[in-house]
Structure 1
Amino acid sequence: MLTAEQKQQFADQGYLVIDPQIDPAIIDGVRERVGNGLLYPDGRTVARVQDAWRQDAGVKTIACAPTVLAVLAQLHGRKPLPFQTLNFRVGTEQKVHSDTVHFNSNPAGHMCGVWVALEDIDQHNGAVIYYPGSHKLPEVGMSEVFAEPDLGARRAPMRDGPLSPRGWWRELRGHSPAHDSAHNYLLYETYMERQIERARIAPALATIRKGQAFVWAANLMHGGSPRTDPARTRHSQVSHYYFEGARYHRPLLNPDGRVRYFQPDWIV
């Protein structure tokens, strides 16, 4: 299915644009139902809906598209296992990050993301910004962030002991028993901005058409570009995948450096 040139591009640049061959009616249905708030009948305006696959069959269909699964299997040499969806109505303008801080694996590298455009996406409505080739840089965990003296001095203090009821419950779920992930993530974002300056890698925009998909490697630096036209939507769906035969963990939730494995809720 993939050409040798496409495989080489993914290896060298860390991304690939593909046609996932998803029925346009499914794309339109997800955009209307999820993007326009079917899951929030009280009228709330939300920018992101997580794991809508649990309630919406179209979201699940996009995440499990046969062409996407076949492409990922070719790129990784293992069976892909979808485990999370995120549906967006507008661009996030999220700061640059790598997915490896949120979702990692042992062996490393067996995770990826696929972003499907539910409408045309250009430089004005918040396209994904990414840094080609950045997936080859060393993975960044919280130990690297805290090794920066000024960032380490600002790390979140211990909050729950491992023997406390809440600490015990967090440990059982694969989380560090004592951390403030929101606070520590701000430090991570600062560190990643410094990494970009150090690496001197130029950014690019994933301006893709409705129905296309942007596939990226787990360690590729990416985020949300500014919405220069705030009146426009940016309907899209991200699906995250692990791969068969690995073990899975979440570095951000374990800032003490200990690896705590967890079992995702697979999309089946």
Structure 2
Amino acid sequence: MNGPEQTTAKITGHKAVLINSTVATHRNQRGDLDFQEDRVPWIDRPDADVAEYVRSVPVAQRPREYDLAEKLEFFRQNGYVVFERLIDPHLIDLFLSDVDTVIREPDKYPVLVACDGRHQNVPVGTLSREELTGKIHYRMNDIHNMSTAGKKISLTRGLVQFLEHAFQDKAVAMQSLTFRYGSEQGVHQDFAYVVSSNPSHLAASWIALEDTSPDSGPLGYYPGSHRIPKFDFGNGLFYDKDSTHGPKEFGQYLKAECEKHGLKKETFVPKKGDVLIWHAALAHEGTMARDRSLTRLSYVTHYSSASHYVCDVRAPHIEPVVYQHNGGLVFGHPGMPQHENALAAAGPVPLASEVVDQPDVSDSSQSYPITSRKAG
């Protein structure tokens, strides 16, 4: 294979074609217990030739921050890749200031949170200030909708460029999770829970907002686990209300398969600004903290490709409001448009329709052809 099949998928304003229940339709097709080979990203196909693909990209148009061939090949083989000091530390500081503002003024900035299994997707004001600044485990969901710093971190140039090459399509930031402490979540694979019309077109970034201690419950992951056989929840690949097997059995299966294939767990102990991108099917977990007084400030973004995430899962029947930064896309919150970009210390993020989509390496716009496979 000489890289991906060249069918143009250049999207500017990203006018969504509303297909009503794109996501639901896919997730009801449970006949296969694996990703459909003719619909996976080119990099996941057995005949993917990364070296030849990268040779086709002009040197001046490759990411400046890293060796594209090295990163793509490592990702193909291992299901994850690390980028050191990729995120601007000043942007991280602005983002952390936005998080503090939400905690100080929860009524003004009603970000949704999930907390220690007691609360799921409730306004941040449901928790007391003592809880929000204490040592309980909670996460803020989709703060990027209010925070332009969050949007800009999720759509950092080098991160977006890598995903565009891996997907061969524009990258869409689907959702974000912000953590103060480690999640201690059991081992899992994201595609079983994170909704996209094509589960193989998913990836996530884990960004360190501070230097991480090995005692704080760092991210754990199993290199190569993106290739193990998929788990059957009793009704297919995805966990939902009709599944007869649950997260505990899912985790047990993944650990057993990793042991069977000789895959050893590693941990990510990054410095502030480091990024780990993982594959949709990489088995990963939040390890147990050895010192619960230690924070583990981190920011996770899930992504899909523009061709496979044309509508917001939070409101799949309406056309999304689309923002663009460094060529990457992100949808406005359909339920809280009045709060979009309310925390704008990092500066504006334009609507995709306002972006002049011209090749220009200097401003990180797309200067190489964005291509994708036709849907199988």
Structure 2-normalised TM-score?
0.54
1:93 Cα deviation (Å)?
1.1
| Counterparts in 2 of 1:213 and 1:98: CA distance versus 1, 3 Å | same
Secondary structure of 1:239's match?
A: strand
More displaced, 239-248 or 48-57? Answer: 239-248
1:111 Cα deviation (Å)?
0.6
Rounded to whole Å, the distance in 2 between the matches of 1:27 and 1:108 is 30
More displaced, 29-38 or 235-244? Answer: 29-38
Matches of residues 166-177 of structure 1 in structure 2 within 5 Å? none
Query: What is aligned with 2:281?
Result: 219
Secondary structure of 2:253's match?
A: helix
Secondary structure of 2:231's match?
A: coil
Rounded to whole Å, the distance in 1 between the matches of 2:86 and 2:220 is 24
Rounded to whole Å, the distance in 2 between the matches of 1:92 and 1:131 is 17
- Identify unmatched segments of 5+ residues in structure 1: 147-174, 250-261
1:199-243 CA-partner distances (Å, limit 9, x unpaired): 331010111110111101110000111211111100010000010
Rounded to whole Å, the distance in 2 between the matches of 1:15 and 1:186 is 24
Secondary structure of 2:214's match?
A: coil
Query: What is aligned with 1:131?
Result: 222
Query: What is aligned with 1:15?
Result: 80
Rounded to whole Å, the distance in 2 between the matches of 1:59 and 1:106 is 24
Query: What is aligned with 2:184?
Result: 93
CA contact (8 A) 1:35 1:88 kept: no
Matches of residues 123-202 of structure 1 in structure 2 within 5 Å? 123-143=214-234, 179=242, 184-202=246-264
1:3 Cα deviation (Å)?
2.8
AA at the equivalent of 1:102: Y
1:57 Cα deviation (Å)?
2.2
1:32-84 CA-partner distances (Å, limit 9, x unpaired): 44268344464032521111112222222211222211111122211111010
Rounded to whole Å, the distance in 1 between the matches of 2:291 and 2:195 is 34
AA at the equivalent of 2:207: V
Query: What is aligned with 2:160?
Result: 69
AA at the equivalent of 1:194: A
Query: What is aligned with 1:25?
Result: 90
Rounded to whole Å, the distance in 2 between the matches of 1:20 and 1:75 is 21
Aligned length, in residue pairs: 226
1:19 Cα deviation (Å)?
4.2
1:9 Cα deviation (Å)?
0.4
1:108 Cα deviation (Å)?
4.5
CA contact (8 A) 2:234 2:243 kept: no
Give the fraction of aligned pairs with identical amino acids, expressed as a percent: 27
CA contact (8 A) 1:35 1:89 kept: no
1:81 aligns with 2:172: yes
- Identify unmatched segments of 5+ residues in structure 2: 1-62, 107-123, 323-329, 332-376
CA contact (8 A) 2:81 2:277 kept: yes
1:129 Cα deviation (Å)?
0.3
Rounded to whole Å, the distance in 2 between the matches of 1:27 and 1:86 is 14
| Counterparts in 2 of 1:48 and 1:104: CA distance versus 1, 3 Å | closer
AA at the equivalent of 1:12: Q
1:191 Cα deviation (Å)?
3.0
1:129-161 CA-partner distances (Å, limit 9, x unpaired): 000011111333423789xxxxxxxxxxxxxxx
1:240 aligns with 2:302: yes
AA at the equivalent of 1:85: S
Rounded to whole Å, the distance in 1 between the matches of 2:69 and 2:243 is 44
Query: What is aligned with 1:170?
Result: none
| Counterparts in 2 of 1:108 and 1:83: CA distance versus 1, 3 Å | closer
More displaced, 113-122 or 99-108? Answer: 99-108
More displaced, 50-59 or 128-137? Answer: 50-59
CA contact (8 A) 2:235 2:242 kept: no
CA contact (8 A) 1:84 1:240 kept: yes
CA contact (8 A) 1:90 1:234 kept: yes
Structure that is richer in helix per residue: 1
More displaced, 45-54 or 129-138? Answer: 45-54
